Amino acid sequence: MTRFARIIEAVAVDVVTQDPTALFHPEIAAQFEPVPDNVERGWHRTGTVWAAPATAATPAAATIPRKTVVTPPEFLLLFTASERIAIRTARASDPVVADWLAILEDPRLSEVDVSRPATLDGLAYLASKGLITQARAAEIALGAPL
């Protein structure tokens, strides 16, 4: 799978697995370049070598107060823009993704519980398809910071 990253000051700020010209305005798409398959958002480049960011001295995610029941828009905002675009693009060819988005977009849905098994299964499925990483699925499953 080919990855593309939008790089600002040697940091991958957006990483996608599809041709950026199909996802973004041409001015934004022109800022993307091919990167190795292991590069993730936040990685930095020195010359031609990519490295994960150093571990920050911030509190562990579990210690940050979070709400696990959120509105559908709040839930979708837990994803990055490039993740949301990849998921919406996958809708056309993946009936599981199409079903998942249909549920989220149903006007009768007023809340999403990120700890609910069906939500966790959906996140795991998105990760299994490469639409988000396992690490991002785990982060989203923690809920929204208060």
pLDDT, tens digit (0-9, with 9 covering 90-100), for 19-72: 888 888 888 888 888 999 888 888 888 888 888 887 655 555 457 788 999 999
pTM of the model: 0.59
Amino acid 77: pLDDT? 94
- The DSSP-derived string for 46-70 is ETTEEEPPPPPSSPPGGGS-EESEE
Q: pLDDT tens digit string along 95-110? A: 999 999 999 999 999 9
Measured over the CA atoms of residue 125, residue 40, residue 69 and residue 73, the dihedral's sign is: negative
Report yes or no: 40 and 53 within 8 Å, Cβ to Cβ: no
Average pLDDT, the chain: 88
d(CA 89, CA 20): 12
